[in-house]
Amino acid sequence: MRVAVIGAGFGGLSAACHLTGRGHDVVVVEREEVPGGRAGLVEEAGYRLDPGPTVLTMVGLLEETFRAAGADLVDHLRLRPVDPMYRACFPDGSVLHVRHGREAMAAEIAAFAGPREAAAFHRFCRWLQELYELELPHFIARNYDSPFDLVRDPAALFRLVRLGALRKLAPTVESYFADPRLQRIFSFQAMYAGLSPFEALAIYCVITYMDTVEGVFFPDGGIHEVGRGLMQAAEKAGASFTFGQPVERITRNADGSVRGVKLVGGEHVDADAVVCNVDLPVAYRQLLGLEPPLVSRRGHYSPSCVVWLAGVRGALPPDAAHHNIHFGTTWREAFDALLRDGQRMPDPSILVTCAAASDPSLAPAGGTTLFALEPAPNLDGHVDWEKERAHLRDELAGRVGSLGYPVDDVVVERLTDPRDWEAQGLERGTPFALAHRFLQTGPFRPANTDRRIPGLVFSGMGTVPGVGIPMVLISGRLAADRIDEWALRRTR
């Protein structure tokens, strides 16, 4: 079957690898000049900067994606564990290094907060692993046809309830750790799901498992190299790629099934099926001329973020790690401001990633790279971003500078706020899609198929299973499964 894949982001690349490995004829059409989607590349003045995702976990899923195309990850990427995975800096001046490996992390916690908390960490990891091993096959890495699919395996659902996965996340973490600093470092990952730790369900501790237990990695050359490697693997397996070609619309036959894609330049790419990796609600409106599903129109979207990306001259602080979390003085109040009130966080916690700390080749001699991220309301919030823009860069760069990072000699920089994310084709100006509230997860999330449009399948963060590199890679495999189902129906 000939399949057109719209978008060479990680979801589209994953779909291409799985589809080519299964014998389909695949053509990938990408509007940008490079693969990777949001994980693109800013290359200027000797700096190579990742403008999108910076945290890579669950490399087993990435290895699985390469294997689907008959390739081996080590032939395309050199991954190194990031250790410490995070340097967590707290308002009281204390610092915790989140180490790679359970024993190393337990020792770190023992020195930081005492042996009882270290023992609690071991119990917490055992619970996290049990939760993950239950969730992945039964609730995450699968397609849904209706909400009733949730009870298709009642024993798994019962075990999920027994594990306490439907309790609130913050109290669950607190039941293990008495130290409020440890409560923060093991619950902030709820933000990846677009939720406060105080409103998220404990099922989203699975994200903490991905970080804390499976570990954080970084590829030589930057996160962008993941996209490049997947493209090479798919190409070698037989997929073809067309770059710099935006898609104007998905074309359809008289019966509603897909016919292919029409490019902005006028060319038509015939296809028996289409995988669309464009942000789902945007794809419905711009490529199909249809209203998005109800949950996409009326649902609750994740917060956005402001990112200051910079190539600078100067040395990092001697204690800087690859990933540095600087917690603000407020915690619950900051989430209330962001998620309830739609305002910027007072004294926000920020992430500062220094990729050149792991790979000095990303910056010229005497330089380094900075990626500073502040959580921010999406465009449903109550921030006038046109006014904020005037001082946003100086405010964020000033905060980074006050923490000891070099910001006085900036060579290359980019500032991205929610309006910029929207201009990149992201609904509500957020790179994190719909929040993972319970009724926006699994079978309640926008489906990756639409009965009105046979042969069309969605991948990416806007559909199942959700947000983050691991989930998006899974979405590509789920899309390939749907294409196989469509191919089988067409032969009957």
Q: Are 448 and 464 in contact (CB under 8 A)?
A: yes
- Write out the two tokens for 467: 């947000």
How many Å apart are CA 447 and CA 475, to the nearest integer? 11
Average pLDDT, the chain: 97
Handedness of CA 204, 201, 83, 219 (dihedral sign): positive
How many Å apart are CA 84 and CA 62, to the nearest integer? 21
Helical ranges in 294-384 per DSSP H: 294-298, 332-335
Residue with tokens 């040395």: 315
How many Å apart are CA 210 and CA 60, to the nearest integer? 11
The tens digit of pLDDT for each residue in 124-138 reads 999 999 999 999 999
Averaged over 223-239, what is the pLDDT? 98
Show the CA angle centred on residue 363, arms to residues 359 and 369, nearest 5°. Answer: 85
The confidence band for 75, taking pLDDT boundaries of 50, 70 and 90, is very high
Give DSSP secondary structure letters for 449-460.
Answer: B-TTSTTEEE-S
How many Å apart are CA 76 and CA 32, to the nearest integer? 21
The helix or strand, by DSSP H or E, that contains position 431, with its residue range, turns out to be none
Residue 492: is its pLDDT beyond 80? no
Averaged over 96-109, what is the pLDDT? 97
pLDDT at site 67: 98
Show the CA angle centred on residue 78, arms to residues 75 and 82, nearest 5°. Answer: 155
- Write out the two tokens for 87: 């340097």
pLDDT at site 151: 85
How many Å apart are CA 47 and CA 26, to the nearest integer? 33
Residue with tokens 């913050």: 170
The tens digit of pLDDT for each residue in 310-334 reads 999 999 999 999 999 999 999 999 9
Q: Are 457 and 275 in contact (CB under 8 A)?
A: yes
Contacts of residue 200, defined as CB under 8 A and 6 or more positions apart, other chains included, come to 168, 169, 170, 190, 193, 436
Residue 403: is its pLDDT beyond 90? yes
How many Å apart are CA 305 and CA 344, to the nearest integer? 10
Burial pattern 190-212, b for ≥16 Cβ within 10 A else e, equals bbbbbbbbbebbbbbbbbbbbbb
Q: How far is CA 250 from CA 5, 9, 456, 457, in A?
A: 11, 18, 9, 12
How many Å apart are CA 216 and CA 467, to the nearest integer? 17
pLDDT at site 491: 85
pLDDT at site 138: 94
Distance of CA 10 to the CA centre of its chain: 10
At residue 177, φ and ψ (nearest 5 deg) are -115, 130
Residue 174 C-beta-side C-alpha neighbours within 13 Å? 8
Handedness of CA 203, 207, 210, 213 (dihedral sign): negative
How many Å apart are CA 89 and CA 71, to the nearest integer? 40
Task: Please provide the size of the chain in residues.
Answer: 492
The confidence band for 457, taking pLDDT boundaries of 50, 70 and 90, is very high
- Write out the two tokens for 243: 């770059």
The helix or strand, by DSSP H or E, that contains position 411, with its residue range, turns out to be strand 410-416
**3-state DSSP: the chain helix, strand, coil percent, rounded to 5?**
40, 20, 40
Averaged over 73-91, what is the pLDDT? 98
The tens digit of pLDDT for each residue in 130-189 reads 999 999 999 999 999 999 999 888 999 999 999 999 999 999 999 999 999 999 999 999
Name the 3-class secondary structure at 170. Answer: helix
- Write out the two tokens for 283: 């794809």
Averaged over 8-36, what is the pLDDT? 98
The confidence band for 296, taking pLDDT boundaries of 50, 70 and 90, is very high
Residue with tokens 């999108």: 52
Averaged over 366-389, what is the pLDDT? 97
The confidence band for 214, taking pLDDT boundaries of 50, 70 and 90, is very high
Best CA proximity match to 441, nearest among 277, 279, 203: 203
Query: Residue 486: is it exposed, middle or buried by C-beta count within 10 angstroms (0-12/13-18/19+)?
Result: buried
The tens digit of pLDDT for each residue in 264-276 reads 999 999 999 999 9
- From first CA to last CA, the distance across the chain in angstroms is 14
What domains lie within the chain, and their CATH numbers? 2-42+223-299+436-491 (3.50.50.60), 101-210 (no CATH), 302-428 (3.30.519)
Best CA proximity match to 206, nearest among 189, 223, 194: 189
Q: Are 356 and 367 in contact (CB under 8 A)?
A: yes
The confidence band for 300, taking pLDDT boundaries of 50, 70 and 90, is very high
